[in-house]
Structure 1
Amino acid sequence: MRPVVTVEEMKVVDAEAQQHVSLDALVARAGAAVARSVLRQLGGAYGRRVVVVAGKGHNGDDGRVAASRLRRRGVGVSVVDAAAADERLPACDIVVDAAYGTGFRGEYREPEVPEHARVVAIDIPSGVNGDTGEAATGAVRADVTVTFAALKPGLLFAEGPLRSGSVEVVDIGLDVSGAGAHLVEDADVTDLLPRRPRDTHKWETAVYVAAGSPGMMGSATFCSLAAMRAGAGMVQLGVPGAGPRDLPSSEVVAHGLPAERWDIDVLGVVGRCRALVLGPGLGRSDAAAAVVRRLVAECPVPVLVDADGLNVLGEAREVAQLTARRSTPVVLTPHDGEFARLAGSAPGPDRLASARDLARRSGAVVLLKGSTTVVAAPDGRSLLSSSGSQRLATAGTGDVLSGVIGAFLARGLHPMEAAALGAHAHGRAAGLGLPEGLLAGDLVGLLPRWLSGVMAR
């Protein structure tokens, strides 16, 4: 996992470092790292030209150190004052953006970059908010961003990924071991997802899915099949109000539940399973609300609540009353609309802070869906997944995600890790599919292909 540090957290890290190392030494290390990156991209120094756009702050200081080092290597370097730069920069091979860093607030308009010149940003492209990734139209669009010690949220959210290009994280001697957020990667799935023992049996990783209703079976089917494809040895699917003709025919063991008060039936059997997935396609009736709330409060195994389950669960204060009665964790997986109903307002531009706040108020692990998904625990610890893409913006893929996380819970992962690694696997599997026209059913089939590859490493 790669540490992710907010702007305020980075200020603390910098201050602590300066108790042992001078600011000048840190600036020298940062500038040297930028110079090395530029030289690699130039492929040599002779005859090459670089323009450094430098502001008055420490970001500009990093750029000026890089300029000095590049000159010593024989590169032709011009340093331009960011506040007085012409509308168009002089001809060059690379522009180094050292105008403003992560602490910048406001709007910045990048000077016009010469044709074919690459742009290397220091720490974060100027004009991009370090915590939210928000950016005005004129903000820098870099080919490479050299950032120090840890990723910044602004590189992962909103405009950040589009404007930062390839991100290089450079160690300059700052201690980020206390980072409260981390970005998950493929290797984390390989290392953390428990492998099924040779002598295992199906009930050791069983999942109960309470989902669907007559005429609304698609979400229940996607969720339960995804759980099986993600490693659940047995999936029991209970569908309220369903008759035999309503139930899907597959490897999933499906059965009908009473139309009302079906919590009694679920509580009678769920103890044999390792996780409960609750919500997709249940509807939003008062009867459904009463059942969902009781199951969240009393189910003896980890519970994931999604879709209609979230819509009937109530606001954060009411959820907290339910989670306080539990000895095992609850995972909530809202999209922005569901989040607004739980939290009382939509996620703000700082999605990491928004997810942390709802997790704290609800007492649950919160997965806030997005192209970069945030998973936050009630104590503020957070994991991020940046594997999502526009391929997943189609009906049913959220139900698939719920099934994957349910399976990961059943395989023994901690709920925060199950949610984050499930989101990562979900996005990476989608990446194996067609860039246009990917369907939720396609995604179910791609999951074991991706998981088999990553678990074989």
Structure 2
Amino acid sequence: MIPAYTGAQVRAAEQPLLDAGAGPGLMRRAAHGLARHTAELLRRERGRVYGTRAAALVGTGNNGGDALFAMAFLTRRGVACTAVLLGEKAHDAGLAAFRRAGGRVVDGRPGNNAGAQPREDEDTDDGGTDDGSPRWRAAVAALAGADVVIDAVLGTGARGGIELPLLPNGALVVACDLPSGVDADTGNAADSALEADLTVTFGALKTGLAVGRGHLLAGRVEVVDIGLGPHLGDPDLYVIERSDVARLLPRPARDAHKYSRGVLGLVAGCDRYPGAAVLSATAAVNAGLGMLRTVALGRAAELLAHAVPEAVPAEDTDVRVQAWAVGPGIGDDAGQLAAAKRAIASGLPCVVDASALRRFEPSDGRGNIVLTPHAGELQDLLTRAGLDVEAGDIAADPVRWARRAASTYSSVVLLKGPATVCAAPDGYTVVCNAGGPELATAGSGDVLTGIIGKFLATGNQLGDTRSLVQVAATAAAVHGLTVHTIGSAATPQSARALAERVSAAVDTVGN
């Protein structure tokens, strides 16, 4: 798993090295990595490095210095480079190195700067003031025709956004350390934050690049090692990788039988929402479950009998199973809600979803339960526990609120969203970034519940809440990888297609 750290942790790790005078070396390693990855992007997307054009939006801090040194490297490789200065000052050594390499400098500060005197190599435009600033227009002009724009305005210590000039259509965007306006600790982002094709981050992966809008804005992320390892300490969280999924995926023994492959009880569906039961059941069976016992009523039971013939009907929750999955499609049906409550109280591992979450109380929680809310459902859980929180707060800091709910309900919380956050009561957190907007379709959560239920029923990796977090994150990754077994698509896939392709996703990861 990839460890991720908050911006505060990274800055603390840098401090002893800065105190020892290693700052210039850190910056040059960061700049070299930024230049190398930018050149690789140009070669891949433009077919060449030499003869391309690059521009950098340069802020006042070390982030701007990283970009200036990187642009100096790129200039020496035949890239026509322009640095657009957006602050009252620039990193002195970086700016000097860039000028020595032959780079062009443009003063792009917004506002009325007509009285300022540019240096000989600093371009301005005195031909108009679209926003009251000739230099702002000069910045826009300097960006025109750029093949790649490096965003190096705000760094890990910044909060909020900044006004940025309009980028040319078709330009590649590389974020230096993180997109300007993204909070390195939470993933919250200012409205002005640029969406990057590539983020080159230094020292360690930042939490804000793995969750929230930061994850969506970062594009592909490359981590450049600058030597902070001995000073970083314990990660803030981990990001699960495909290799981790292959390692954690429950595998049947050679002498397996249906009981050793897991027996799952499923409380799902009602007359009003019968399809949810089919989706969860299909996903559980296709994930490799040994036996499925279903507690379903009316139309849901009839539909299950036809659509999932492997499912064995159960009259009630008084059956022998190894884990429970409860909630999908039970709506307000009193009988199904009562059955879900009994399953939760059984003491067996249990995944709780959908309507069952609305009846879940803090006293129901225990270490072998997984709650699977989206942001709105998490808001409801926290509000019922006496916490004043809005859905917008959760979106702005999903890790914090998933951890708060896990602690409050003494259960593992899997918070669904653009990045899936799996948190234990002690704060241990694993993030899954598999899948994408293709999963944003009705019934997709029912599919995930079935996969989690199967993994809980296997039961051989549930030693503590941390291992349960890993199991939940593994299930989320398999859920996300089902999209890739269907084929590329720009629109959401149907939940039925996802459920039917779970076995292909398991096989793909396992092989």
TM range (shorter): 0.7 to 0.9
Query: Which is worse superposed, 372-381 or 215-224?
Result: 215-224
TM-score between the two structures when normalised by the length of structure 2: 0.78
SS at match of 1:221: helix
| Other-structure match for 1:163 | 217
Q: C-alpha deviations, 1:166-219, integer Å up to 9, x for none?
A: 221221122256213122222222111121111011111111112223453321
CA distance in 1, matches of 2:352, 2:52: 57
Q: Deviations over 1:60-86 (max 9, x none)?
A: 121122233334445443333222513
Q: Which residue pairs with 1:401 in the alignment?
A: 448
Change (3 A) 1:310 1:17: farther
State the aligned residue count.
437
Partner of 2:457: 410
Is 1:330 matched up with 2:379?
no
Find the counterpart in structure 1 of residue 166 from structure 2. Answer: 112
> Is the 8 Å Cα contact of residues 89 and 111 (structure 1) preserved in structure 2?
no
Give the deviation of 1:126 after TM superposition.
1.4
Aligned counterpart, 1:260: none
Alpha-carbon distance in 1 for matches of 2:8, 2:448: 32
User: Judging changes above 3 Å, is the alpha-carbon distance between structure 1 residues 53 and 284 closer, same or farther for their aligned structure 2 residues?
Assistant: same
Q: Structure 1 residues 256 and 49 mapped into 2: Cα distance closer, same or farther (>3 Å)?
A: closer
In the alignment, is the contact (CA less than 8 A) between 2:269 and 2:300 conserved in 1?
no
Identical aligned pairs, as a percentage? Answer: 37
Match of 2:192 in 1: 138
2: CA distance, partners of 1:396 / 1:207:
20
Q: Given the superposition, is the C-alpha separation of residues 117 and 397 from structure 1 closer, same or farther in structure 2, using an over 3 Å criterion?
A: closer
Cα 1:117/1:65, change in 2 over 3 Å: same
- Contact persistence 1:49–1:94 (CA under 8 A): yes
TM-aligned CA distance change 1:23 to 1:225, over 3 Å: same
Return the alpha-carbon distance in structure 2 between the equivalents of residues 283 and 67 of structure 1: 58
In 2, the alpha carbon distance for the partners of 1:217 and 1:243 equals 4
With over 3 angstroms needed to count, the CA separation of the structure-2 counterparts of 1:50 and 1:430, relative to structure 1, is closer
Residue 433 of structure 1 aligns with an amino acid whose one-letter code is I
Matched residue, 2:116: none
Q: Within the alignment, does 1:279 sit opposite 2:333 as a pair?
A: no
8 Å Cα contact 1:388/1:427 also seen in 2: yes
Q: Does 1:421 align with 2:479?
A: no
Query: Structure 2 residue aligned with 1:301, among 337, 348, 353?
Result: 348
TM-score (norm 1): 0.86
Looking at structure 2, the residues matched to 438 and 114 of structure 1 have their Cα atoms a distance apart, in angstroms, of 33
Q: How far 1:441 moved relative to its partner?
A: 1.7
Letter in 2 for 1:417: Q
The range that moved more, 274-283 or 85-94, is: 85-94
Instruction: Please say if 1:195 is aligned against 2:199.
Output: no
Q: Map of 1:64-75 to 2, 5 A cutoff?
A: 64-75=68-79
Conserved? CA contact 1:231–1:408, under 8 Å = no
| Deviation (angstroms), 1:427 | 1.5
The match for 1:57 is 61
Report the CA distance between 1:417 and its aligned residue.
1.5
Deviation at 1:17? 5.2
1:278-328, Cα deviation, whole Å (9 max, x unpaired): 22233336666565445434x2321111111111113xxxx2x233xx5x5
> What's the Cα RMSD here?
2.8
Determine if contact 2:279/2:499 at 8 Å carries over to the other structure.
yes
**2:506 maps to amino acid:** L
Corresponding letter in the other structure for 1:8: A
Q: Which residue of 1 aligns with 2:22?
A: 22
Contact 1:292 1:312 in 2 (8 A): no
Equivalent residue for 1:97, pick from 147, 151, 162: 151
Q: Does the CA contact (< 8 Å) of 1:222 and 1:400 recur in 2?
A: yes
1:6 corresponds in structure 2 to: 6
Q: Which runs of 5+ in 1 are unaligned?
A: 258-264
**Distance in 2 between the 1:114 and 1:245 partners?**
58
Structure 2 residue identity aligned to 1:4: A
* Aligned mates of 2:162, 2:498 — CA distance in 1: 41
Query: Quick check: 364-373 or 428-437, which moved more?
Result: 428-437
SS for the counterpart of 2:486 is: coil
Distance 1:244 1:387, change over 3 A: closer
Q: Is the 8 A contact 1:228 1:235 kept in 2?
A: yes
Does residue 251 (structure 1) correspond to residue 309 (structure 2)? The answer is yes
Distance apart, 1:37 and its partner CA = 1.9
Using the TM superposition, give the Cα deviation of residue 424 of structure 1 relative to its aligned residue in structure 2, in angstroms: 1.3
**Which of residues 161, 175, 179 is equivalent to 1:121?**
175
Task: Give the match's secondary structure for 1:269.
Answer: coil
Is the 1:370–1:388 Cα contact (8 Å) retained in structure 2? Answer: no
Structure 2 unaligned segments of length 5 or more: list them: 88-106, 109-135, 384-388, 462-466
CA shift at 1:348, angstroms?
4.3
Residue 210 of structure 2 corresponds to residue 153 of structure 1: no
Whether contact under 8 Å (1:109, 1:139) holds in the other structure is no
Q: Which is further off, 122-131 or 432-441?
A: 432-441
Structure-2 change in CA distance of 1:447 and 1:19 (3 Å): farther
Cα distance, 1:289–1:194 mapped onto 2, change above 3 Å: closer
Query: Measured at CA, do residues 278 and 251 of structure 1 come closer, stay the same or move farther in structure 2, by a change above 3 Å?
Result: same
Matched with 2:98 is none
Query: C-alpha distance in 2, partners of 1:224/1:29?
Result: 52
- Whichever residue aligns with residue 364 of structure 1, its letter is S
> Which residue in 2 is equivalent to 1:312?
359
Cα drift, residue 255 of structure 1: 2.5
